[in-house]
């Protein structure tokens, strides 16, 4: 039986995939360190990747490993580039060599956020504004140049009950403060990691001979960060007020796209995947928390 290799198993998406896999023997979960059923694999080590794929009869790879600290990436560019570009290139080369399919996860940060009508489509020009965005763009390019079978899925505003994310930060601050300021001039679509994991499992058996095909996946609907924060407070029953502020009032080392909205028409058409409204997903996540 060919195996499905999941990298970044301890991250938000990797954890959700572990739960959905529910111990099925065809899945192999890896991360930079081994713990329990998760095996150690450094995707930045090309020789280690090749050896692992060859020895484990890997037929598909889902790369959930990523450097995601957007602000720190501005001063830690070498490591960010290694994980987000060199690592996917290593996986893609081994996938091509062994005939495996690769699902590479990317981000809306490859865009500059200046689009004002409709959502970004997969063929829109990329113009990342941050070191993180540039590293993910380079990861896309290197996967596509490899010629391996597979797809690239861009997503945005990922959250879950696990790890560090906006929802968990808002819950913590909402329990500590009477009022918090959250930016109102950055608009996008929150994405529940469990929904993305389900989408990946739907796509895997349908990849066929697609090579570097790009798809967008987020939950349905759009909002500003301040709207998302207010919804979290309301659904969690927290009395904390959300004060909408501008990006200029909350400067960060990394420049973020003002508009992160992406069209999901292509993934709906090709794979029959219909996004869940983001507020419904938020309710489910809060129930699990």
Looking at residue 211, the DSSP 8-state letter turns out to be E
Number of domains in the chain: 1
Question: In 237-276, which positions are buried (b, 16+ CB within 10 angstroms) versus exposed (e)?
Answer: ebebebebbeeeeeeeebbbbbbbbbebebbeeebebebb
Please give the structure tokens belonging to residue 248.
């200029």
Query: What residues make up the domain containing 196?
Result: 3-163+192-219+261-276
pLDDT attached to residue 116:
73
Q: Is residue 288, in this structure, part of any structural domain at all?
A: no
Q: Is residue 215, in this structure, part of any structural domain at all?
A: yes
Q: Is residue 63, in this structure, part of any structural domain at all?
A: yes
Q: Is residue 67, in this structure, part of any structural domain at all?
A: yes
Q: Give me the count of residues in the chain.
A: 289
pLDDT attached to residue 222:
97
The β-bridge partners of 244 are: 182
- Assess contact for 8 and 64: CB atoms under 8 A: yes
Q: Is residue 131, in this structure, part of any structural domain at all?
A: yes
Nearest to 281 by CA among 167, 117, 204: 167
What does each of the 289 residues of the chain score in pLDDT, given as a tens digit?
799 999 999 999 999 999 999 989 999 999 999 999 999 999 999 999 999 999 999 999 999 999 999 999 999 999 999 999 999 999 999 999 999 999 999 999 999 999 877 899 999 999 999 999 999 999 999 999 999 999 999 999 999 999 999 999 999 999 999 999 999 999 999 999 999 999 999 999 999 999 999 999 999 999 999 999 999 999 999 999 999 999 999 999 999 999 999 999 999 999 999 999 999 999 999 999 9
Active site residue 132: yes
Query: What's the whole-model pTM score?
Result: 0.97
Cα–Cα distance, 73 to 138 (Å, whole number): 14
Q: Is residue 181, in this structure, part of any structural domain at all?
A: no
Please give the structure tokens belonging to residue 31.
């991360």
Q: Is residue 253, in this structure, part of any structural domain at all?
A: no
Catalytic hit among 109, 120, 132, 192 = 132
Cα–Cα distance, 44 to 31 (Å, whole number): 11
Domain with residue 126: its CATH number is 3.40.50.720
Phi, psi of 105 (to 5 degrees): -95, 125
pLDDT attached to residue 186:
96
Q: Is 208 left (phi over 0), alpha (psi -120 to 50) or beta?
A: left
Q: Is residue 184, in this structure, part of any structural domain at all?
A: no
pLDDT attached to residue 118:
83
């Amino acid at each position: 039986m060919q195996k499905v290799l999941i990298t970044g198993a301890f991250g938000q998406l990797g954890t959700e995939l572990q739960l959905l896999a529910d111990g099925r023997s065809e899945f192999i979960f890896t991360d930079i360190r081994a713990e329990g059923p998760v095996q150690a694999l450094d995707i930045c080590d090309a020789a280690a990747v090749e050896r692992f794929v060859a020895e484990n009869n890997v037929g598909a790879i889902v790369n959930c490993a990523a450097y995601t600290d957007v602000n720190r990436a501005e001063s830690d560019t070498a490591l960010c580039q290694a994980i987000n570009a060199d690592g996917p290139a290593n996986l893609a080369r081994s996938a091509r060599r062994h005939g495996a399919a690769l699902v590479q996860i990317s981000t809306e940060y490859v865009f500059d956020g200046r689009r004002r009508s409709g959502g970004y489509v997969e063929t829109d020009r990329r113009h990342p504004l941050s070191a993180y965005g540039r590293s993910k763009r380079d990861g896309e390019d290197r996967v596509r140049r490899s010629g391996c079978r597979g797809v690239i899925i861009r997503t945005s505003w990922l959250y879950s009950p696990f790890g560090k994310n906006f929802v968990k930060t808002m819950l913590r601050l909402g329990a500590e403060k009477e009022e918090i300021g959250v930016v109102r001039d950055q608009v996008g679509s929150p994405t529940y990691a469990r929904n993305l994991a389900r989408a990946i499992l739907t796509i895997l058996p349908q990849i066929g001979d697609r090579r570097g095909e790009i798809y967008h996946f987020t939950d349905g609907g759009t909002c500003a960060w301040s709207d998302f924060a207010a919804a979290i407070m309301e659904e969690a029953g927290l009395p904390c007020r959300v004060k909408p502020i501008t990006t200029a009032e909350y400067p960060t080392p990394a420049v973020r796209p003002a508009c992160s909205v992406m069209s999901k028409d292509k993934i709906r058409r090709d794979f029959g995947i219909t996004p869940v409204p983001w507020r419904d997903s938020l309710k489910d996540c809060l129930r699990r928390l």
